[in-house]
Amino acid sequence: MQIHKLTPAPIRFARRGNKENPFPGGVGVGCWRQNQMSVKQILTKDNFSREEIITLLTCIGEERTLLFQKSAEVKEKYIGKKVWFRGLIEFSNICSKDCLYCGIRKGNKNLRRYNLSDEEILAAAKFAFDNNYGSLALQSGELESASVTGRIENLLHRIKELSGGKLGITLSVGEQEHEAYKRWFDAGAHRYLLRIEATNEDLYKKIHPRNSKHDFRRRLNCLKSLQNIGYQVGTGVMIGLPFQTNEDLANDLLFMKDFDIDMCGMGPYIEHAETPLIEYAGELLPVGERFDLTLRMIAILRIMMKDINIVAATALQAIDPIGREKAVRIGANIIMPNITPGKYRDSYKLYENKPCTYDSAEDCQSCLEARVSLADNEVVYGEWGDSKHYERRRKDQIQFTTE
Ligand code: 5AD
Ligand code: FES
């Protein structure tokens, strides 16, 4: 595979801070700048400009606390102090793509590949149902073929059947043709997660091989297809990527607002030794800063899009043992407990330090329940926990077309 030599642009963010200037970089950075609205003033608004988002991404001390207080208030008011589970089944780590950051990329030959049998997937779905999870999420590496489409369609029917239609289903199996998305929607999947990974096309190109299999425009079109079909659509980005600026991150949030997403899953980028991007490990923000930036991104998005579903990404816990709880406190409302059969978990390593790879599904559940209550929130069982934003969006659409 051809790997492009990546040269960090000199004026761009992605550098370590220091005591005087802990978050150096991008355009308009720093709350200490004069002629700039204070964080307190910015937080009285619902819509933020790019510059205001950058201020929120970089403020420190009491201003940072204000941001998190505000986002927690918004969550409580619009969502409640609640968390919904999506039992996560990582059913195969076989991937046709070669994203330069991802541990299960096709080019990583140092990995045992697996593909759960239909019976194993259905047993995990049954576990979710028996434990009163409202929903599950089926995730895998990206593969496109008639047999994959047919297999997933069949599994969706069987999961609906075993749960009497009660289990909600999120799919996350990458870029596909419109027809495959449509068949799966008709078979009962109603949410789809497809992270755009980076909305700056130049950055996207730097973290993917430059070929038609890794085409930014196609990914975007897939998101549009999903929305047109009627899915609740989720997207997200990685935070702290090499070459990424605060301006990029602000644009990512504006993209999500503009696209009118229903769900978001975003997490810190964590380097993986068996990937080409490891070459830039020395250029990255320290993990603690990547973690904090992720919390800020979640908090800002919660204020901008009050009633969407936001996932507390597992990658947060790879950095901080109570990372997901922190995200729940300041705005996230979805957790995806891993219910993949234990023997396979170690092989779905997208990044280093992935937590819970040795736990059984039961361990994960009781551990997470305790964690959620530590975050002063409660787990809601037996409900789909659909995005309220989606309901509102659909109502508005219907009203609009009948007027
Ligand atoms: N660090 C963090 N997240 C990663 N993902 C893939 N590789 C990494 C990594 N090294 C995320 C991508 C993908 C999701 C399934 O996992 O955002 O969409
Ligand atoms: Fe792209 Fe795994 S190779 S997300």
In order, the DSSP letters of 229-281 are HT-EEEE-BEES-TT--HHHHHHHHHHHHHHT-SEE--EE----TTSGGGGGG
Residues 121 and 228: their CA atoms lie apart, in Å, by 28
Q: How far is the CA of 208 from the centre of ligand 2 (A)?
A: 9
Characterize the bridge pairing of strands 168-172 and 135-140.
parallel
Name the percent of the chain in helix, strand, coil, to the closest 5: 45, 10, 45
* Distances from the Cα of 109 to the Cα of 112, 144, 322, 351, angstroms: 8, 20, 32, 15
Q: What angle do CA 106, 223, 289 make, to 5 degrees?
A: 65
Angle value at C-alpha 354, between 348 and 358, nearest 5 degrees: 75
Question: DSSP 3-state assignment of 92?
Answer: strand
Type of residue found at 200: N
Task: Please name the amino acid found at residue 322.
Answer: I
CATH 3.30.450.40 is right for the domain spanning 80-402: no
Choose one of 223, 350, 353 to mutate for the ligand 1 pocket test, by most ligand atoms within 8 angstroms of C-beta.
350
Tokens 């975003």, located at residue:
266
pTM of the entire predicted model: 0.89
Q: What's the CA-to-centroid distance between 95 and ligand 2, angstroms?
A: 7
Dist. CA 212 → ligand 2 center (Å):
15
**Ligand closest to CA 234:** 1
Instruction: Name the phi and psi angles at 217, rounded to 5.
Output: -65, -40
Sequence-distant (≥ 6) Cβ neighbours of residue 396 within 8 angstroms: none
Rg (CA), the chain: 20
Distance set, CA 293 to CA 23, 44, 245, 284 (Å): 10, 21, 11, 13
Ligand closest to 143 (CA) is 2
Cα dihedral 8/10/14/19 (nearest 10): 150
Q: Which of 238, 263, 287, 317 to mutate to test the pocket of ligand 1 (most atoms within 8 A of CB)?
A: 238
Is the CB–ligand 1 distance for residue 242 below 6 Å? no
Mutation test residue for ligand 2: of 104, 241, 266, 347, the one with most atoms within 8 Å of CB = 104
Q: With a cut of 70, which residues of the chain have pLDDT below it?
A: 1-35, 358-359, 398-403
Pocket of ligand 1 contains residue 102 by CB under 6 Å? yes
If you measure from the C-alpha of residue 16 to the centroid of ligand 2, how many angstroms do you get, rounded to a whole number?
Answer: 27
Whose C-alpha lies nearest to ligand 1, atom 2? 269
Residue 262 CB less than 6 A away from ligand 1: no
Report CA-CA distances (Å) from 375 to 93, 333, 364: 32, 11, 16
Alpha carbon of 115 to ligand 2 centroid (Å): 16
**Ligand nearest the Cα atom of residue 195:** 1
| Pocket flag, ligand 2, residue 95 (CB < 6 Å) | yes
Phi, psi angle pair for 350, to nearest 5°: -75, -30
Report DSSP letters for 310-326, one per residue.
EB--HHHHHH-TTHHHH
* pLDDT at residue 31 in the model: 45
Ligand nearest to the CA of 97: 2
| Helix ranges restricted to H, 30-177 | 39-42, 50-58, 61-78, 118-130, 146-162
Query: Which residue minimizes the CA distance to atom 3 of ligand 2?
Result: 105
Distance from the alpha carbon of residue 176 to the mean position of ligand 2, in angstroms: 14
Provide the pLDDT for residue 13.
37
102 close to ligand 2 (CB < 6 Angstrom): yes
67-124 pLDDT, tens digit per residue, is 999 999 999 999 999 999 999 999 999 999 999 999 999 999 999 999 999 999 999 9
Distance between CA 331 and CA 303 in Å, rounded?
A: 9
Contact 169, 156 (CB under 8 A): yes
Query: Are the CB atoms for 99 and 269 separated by under 8 Å?
Result: no
- Measured from the Cα of 106, ligand 2's closest atom is 3
The pLDDT, as a whole number, for residue 264 is 98
CA torsion angle 317 323 325 326 (round to 10): -160
* Closest C-alpha among 183, 207, 189 to residue 197: 207
Residue 271 Cα: closest atom of ligand 1: 10
Measured in angstroms, how far is the CA atom of residue 36 from the centroid of ligand 1? Answer: 35
Pairing of the two strands 263-264 and 378-380? unpaired
Q: Kindly report the backbone phi and psi dihedral angles of residue 267, in degrees, each rounded to the nearest multiple of 5, phi listed first.
A: -150, 170
From CA 107, how far away is CA 63, in angstroms rounded? 44
User: Phi/psi class of residue 198: alpha, beta or left (left: φ > 0; alpha: ψ in -120 to 50)?
Assistant: beta
Q: Among all chains, which residue has been given the structure tokens 């736990």?
A: 359
Backbone angles phi, psi at 204, to 5 degrees: -55, -45
Instruction: Determine which residue's CA is closest to atom 16 belonging to ligand 1.
Output: 350
Nearest atom of ligand 1 to the alpha carbon of 351: 10
